[in-house]
Structure 1
Amino acid sequence: MTLSEKTYRVGGRDLFVAEAGDGPAVLLLHGGGPGASGMSNYVRNIEPLSAHYRVIVPDLPGYGRSSKSLDHSDPFGDLATAVRGLLDELGLRSAHLVGNSYGGSAALRLALETPDRVGRLVLMGPGGVGTTRSLPTPGLQKLLNYYRGDGPSKAKLEEFIRTYLVFDGGTVPEEAIEQRYQASIDPEVVADPPLRRPSSLKTLWRMDFTRDPRLSQLRTPTLAIWGARDKVNRPAGGHTLARTMPNCDLLLVANTGHWVQWERAEGFNATLRTFLGTTA
């Protein structure tokens, strides 16, 4: 696999992008956990998918090698704006969007605002599905509290990853945890964490897609993939999307947590090839 790296200037921010392969454009949007990045989130998917697609993997604003600023009054909207601006910089009228957790929220918001920019949509345990209708899950609580209290620590991150992010914590290599921990303590990130509790009730409601009337009108072909043992975003969210969106299929994956694309990589990659097909 030949991997290229480039930083694009988008709306006053720098977005780092890794890219591999040729064919229909597929953007892989990572989750919002401490120390997350595009490459670490999709390390088991980029090479297999690049044999069939132009795979584009950005670090979202606030993460990795991208600028650390994010509009916390409307985080999903700001992320969607950044991704849409990246499409413009890449000269892409549309692309398939694949989003995990926070990245899924960005992808869904972009599709709601500008459906013509999205070919097909794959959402893995996205945030913002019914979040104002129940208390946060234990896993989401851990995420939101990572930079609070006594601040970030490797022990806190390891507990989150091994206990809440995946179904079988013993499968996560120590070096992966160390890499994410080092990224999570970047001084710019510690000073302005990209994932935090909503600043107001208005922000909280804006971050719940089930309160957006456009959701039931979005006809973009969509596949919601959810780990049946997800402890961060409730699997019931998948049923909500499938019930609400006109063209949404649901795949519930047994014995899998919040990181389906990592825990069940081979099946995930094959499923994407089937769902996305070979044309944009």
Structure 2
Amino acid sequence: MQPLFQTILAAAILALALPDAASAERVAEPSYGAELEGFAYPFPVKRFTFPSQRQELQMAYLDVPAETPNGRTAVLLHGKNFCAATWESQIRALSAAGYRVIAPDQIGFCKSSKPAAYQFTFRQLAENTHALLATLGVERPILIGHSTGGMLAAHYALLYPREVEQLVLVNPVGLEDWSAKGLPPVSLEQWYQRELKVSAASIRAYETATYYAGHWEARYEPWVTMLAGLNNGPGKAAVAWDSALVYDMIVTEPVLYRFPQIAVPTLLMIGQKDNTAIGKDLAPPEVRASLGHYPELGKAAARAIPGARLVEFPELGHAPQMSDPEGFNKALIEGIAVR
């Protein structure tokens, strides 16, 4: 474990042990730079600089070699509240199993550029990722996408079907059309104002309920600190604005209608206690109750995607790879071994 992570964990345990809410408020919020300066990743961070939408941007990424190469490459695509570093356990397991592993931070996220003006679309993020992989000489990766990264992976497979060996979707969002089900319109300004209020406490509460099926462990704390520090640093406004643009992209670009067109071998890995639905707290109670039922959504996606295989984790939530990394990694490596 990195020394920084040990420090973060110690601070987290101390914070959780505080006797009352007033004491908790006195604990300083973490603060990192607009590109997560000050937060260490578990592997060396590299940079890909490229032009996009009339500006020069840089995409941070991890490129971890296989211990004993099997000639295959896994590309890990993070979710909305995640970064390349949150794949640490999967990167180590895949590398040990013979895979080269590439994990980018998408534009607008984590250690990558936060453009003030950018049209965020899944097609654009897929094109950015494709350009990175072309530069690295990766031609037919196994795409593994979690949450929003699952939506991105699906769009990538639709754009470049001959350039994807396999597709793995881990509790992807976009398995239902929230707007069609009754989510009211949410403006960019509304998303922006919500993001400006993000704190370590709000992140921890949300992740406990959604990512970890109601069970919090101190080992999750570094990732709360990572996200809270990014949203509390000197780039707070830029981070919040790009986050608002991303939320708008997620809600307005549902991918489920194109699932029957996916022509890539697909593995769905679904934590059954997930209840994720972007913006559901803004929906009327009767609509809110109908959203985020992943046991049904996962099965429906498996039926819609030709030849898809489904692995279910009965006791896990939105982030099965983090709740039970050992069990998840075993299922993942067994799943992608099937060609």
TM-score bin (small chain): 0.7 to 0.9
The counterpart of 1:8, out of the listed 12, 33, 48, is: 48
SS in 2 for 1:268: helix
SS in 2 for 1:14: strand
Are 2:329 and 1:263 equivalent residues in the alignment? no
Look up the match of 1:42.
Answer: 87
Amino acid paired to 1:237? L
Residues 61-114 of structure 1 deviation map (CA, whole Å, 9 limit, x = unaligned) = 111111123987553222211111111111112211000001111110010111
When normalised by structure 1's length, the TM-score is 0.84
Look up the match of 1:28.
Answer: 76
User: Going by fraction, where is helix more abundant, 1 or 2?
Assistant: 2
The counterpart of 2:240, out of the listed 176, 187, 190, is: 190
Are 2:167 and 1:126 equivalent residues in the alignment? no
The 4+ residue runs of structure 1 with deviation greater than 6 A are none
Shift of 1:196: 4.7
Residues 68 and 194 in structure 1, CA contact (< 8 A), matched pair in contact too: no
Look up the match of 2:300.
Answer: 240
The counterpart of 2:154, out of the listed 108, 131, 146, is: 108
Residues 97 and 121 in structure 1, CA contact (< 8 A), matched pair in contact too: yes
When normalised by structure 2's length, the TM-score is 0.70
Residues 87 and 94 in structure 1, CA contact (< 8 A), matched pair in contact too: no
Distance change >3 Å, CA 58–CA 50, structure 1 → 2:
same
Residues 169 and 268 in structure 2, CA contact (< 8 A), matched pair in contact too: yes
SS in 1 for 2:165: strand
Structure 2 Cα separation of the partners of residues 10 and 257 of structure 1: 36
SS in 2 for 1:42: helix
Shift of 1:271: 1.6
Aligned pairs (5 A) from 1:11-90: 11=51, 12-22=56-66, 23=69, 24-33=72-81, 36-39=82-85, 41-51=86-96, 52-69=98-115, 75-90=121-136
Look up the match of 1:155.
Answer: 201
Distance change >3 Å, CA 14–CA 74, structure 1 → 2:
closer
Distance change >3 Å, CA 172–CA 44, structure 1 → 2:
farther
Structure 2 Cα separation of the partners of residues 91 and 157 of structure 1: 37
Shift of 1:146: 8.2
Amino acid paired to 1:198? D
Structure 2 Cα separation of the partners of residues 208 and 68 of structure 1: 24
Look up the match of 1:230.
Answer: 274
**What's the RMSD between the two structures over aligned residues?**
2.7
Distance change >3 Å, CA 196–CA 86, structure 1 → 2:
closer
Amino acid paired to 2:78? H
Distance change >3 Å, CA 178–CA 88, structure 1 → 2:
same
Structure 2 Cα separation of the partners of residues 146 and 156 of structure 1: 16
SS in 2 for 1:62: coil
SS in 2 for 1:94: coil
Structure 1 Cα separation of the partners of residues 84 and 171 of structure 2: 16
Distance change >3 Å, CA 71–CA 238, structure 1 → 2:
farther
Shift of 1:135: 4.6
Structure 2 unaligned regions, length at least 5: 2-41, 184-189, 278-291
The counterpart of 2:227, out of the listed 180, 186, 196, is: 180
Shift of 1:59: 0.8
Larger radius of gyration: 2
Alignment size in residue pairs: 263
Residues 143 and 167 in structure 2, CA contact (< 8 A), matched pair in contact too: yes
Amino acid paired to 2:248? P
Instruction: Using the aligned pairs only, state the percent identity.
Output: 26
